[in-house]
Amino acid sequence: MKPARVVQLSLALSAAASLALTGVYWAGGQPQVEGGLLFLSLGGLALGLIVWAKVFMPRGPFVEARTPSGSSSSDREAVAADSEAPDDVLPRRAFFGRLFAGALTALGLAAVFPIRSLGSKPGRSLFETSWSTGARLVTRDGVAVRASDLEVGGVVTVFPEGHVDVADSQTLLVRVEEGEMEIPAGREDWSPGGNVAYSKICTHAGCPVGLFDQDLNQLICPCHQSAFQVLRAAEPISGPATRALPQLPLDVDAEGYLIARSDYEEPVGPGFWNRP
């Protein structure tokens, strides 16, 4: 096959494959078909450019004549004869350029569509949980927890009432000796009767903080052994976590059940928002 034809077919194939890839993706996608079409798209583009460059681009070495020199009449006739040859010369540079631009545009179109796969915008969901003012603390079984239910040293995982399946709201309720706590300013009334609640989602990489060392009053994340001191607002004291577990403000309702004063005042989980 003539080189010019190879370039034409390769670029046309690339453009067609890119458009087909767009169509397949739009219709719901099929990984194997998409992979094959992407191969044809990129392969056609590469083959067309390689042949174009090797056959049709001028090749050196180039030597500039010292003085202008005109072509001989026989040279001019030879060039004129070549330009009339149908297939084995570059048909038109502009035509190749348009074909190349078309193939690139089609590929660009196919590359834009996967943005759809990113899903909907997260909105405020990363900054809010299902906790709200007055929500009772309930166990995974939906049993509401009273302020007197836990012994000192006890711990239980709790959720906001009606939302026991919401992962970002899981919270550790721990009972400690009230007098032993070092309470930060502004949180004096957040832990009635020594009941203190922290997000269960590790601030390092989001594992559930599942262990409690009663002797040391430390919550420990089993993933990378970050430890958080319960008596000092769950500040990290070892391991890779650098941010304290967010504390849930607690209160007690008229019937003696523990309730949330509000949602967490800061986002739970790994701290993407305070990283440079």
Pair of tokens at residue 184: 């930060």
**Neighbouring-strand partners of residue 171:** 158, 199
Region near ligand FES per CB under 6 A, out of 143-151, 167-175, 180-188, 219-227: 219-227
Q: Where are the beta strands (DSSP E) in the chain?
A: 137-138, 155-160, 171-175, 195-199, 211-213, 218-220, 227-229, 235-238, 247-248, 250-252, 258-260
Region near ligand FES per CB under 6 A, out of 93-101, 126-134, 156-164, 223-231: 223-231
Least CB distance from residue 183 to ligand FES, whole Å?
Answer: 24
CA distance 44 to 15: 8
Between 29 and 270, CB nearer to ligand FES: 270
* Closest to 87 measured CA to CA, from 12, 14, 9: 9
Least CB distance from residue 221 to ligand FES, whole Å?
Answer: 3
**Neighbouring-strand partners of residue 220:** 211, 227
Size of the site for ligand FES (CB under 6 A): 11
Contact call for residues 171 and 259 (beta carbons, < 8 A): no
Residue 204 is a binding residue for ligand FES (CB under 6 A): yes
Between 136 and 204, CB nearer to ligand FES: 204
Least CB distance from residue 269 to ligand FES, whole Å?
Answer: 10
CA distance 214 to 81: 95
Residue 239 is a binding residue for ligand FES (CB under 6 A): yes
Residue 221 is a binding residue for ligand FES (CB under 6 A): yes
Residue 205 is a binding residue for ligand FES (CB under 6 A): yes
Binding site for ligand FES (CB under 6 A): 202, 204-205, 207, 221, 223-224, 226, 239-241
